[in-house]
Amino acid sequence: MQLVRLIYVSRMTEDCDMSGIQKILEVSRKKNRAQDITGVLCYDPAFFLQCLEGPRAAVNSLYASIVQDPRHRDVLLLGYCDAESREFAEWSMAFLATRDLDSQALAQYAGGGKLDPYALSAKQAHDLLAGIVAQERERLTAQAAEGA
């Protein structure tokens, strides 16, 4: 099986709100588990930043569907690569909201200014997600125990 990792950024539309995000997470976790997809979704009022990892055909097909979703727009693919192993193996879809994160931790990925995920390289986006997941591991593990 060819394992791949995909990272994209997008902006939430008026078709979505926090309860919409909860719905997305509910559906995503169920569908991702069935497709052997894992990952993380980071939400900020100004953007979604998501990493999907799993079998190539499943990730490609899910991304094709996500791009069409009217609950977000301006979808920009930041990175797509083969992966030797999973970075977010424990989560069918871990969820982090930037408002719950240490602002200093986020600032380090923004070069001291305001974080603009559209300006990140694939490696920077990956390192940001891996970094905040590592920091929030305890909370995310509890989230996973509740079904993430």
Task: Select 81 or 107, whichever has its Cβ closest to ligand FAD.
Answer: 81
- DSSP secondary structure letter of residue 50: E
Query: Which residues within the stretch 55-74 sit at the binding site for ligand FAD (CB under 6 A)?
Result: 62, 65-66, 68-72
Question: Which residues, in sequence order, are CB contacts of 89 under 8 Å at separation 6+?
Answer: 38
Size of the site for ligand FAD (CB under 6 A): 21
Examine residue 127 and tell whether it contacts ligand FAD (CB under 6 A): no
SS3 state of residue 101:
coil
CA dist 123 and 54 (Å) reads 18
Query: Contact with ligand FAD (CB under 6 A): which of 40, 49, 78, 93?
Result: 93
Q: How many CB atoms lie within 10 A of CB 71?
A: 17
For binding to ligand FAD (CB under 6 A), which residues are involved?
10, 15, 23-24, 27-28, 31-32, 41, 48, 50, 52, 62, 65-66, 68-72, 93
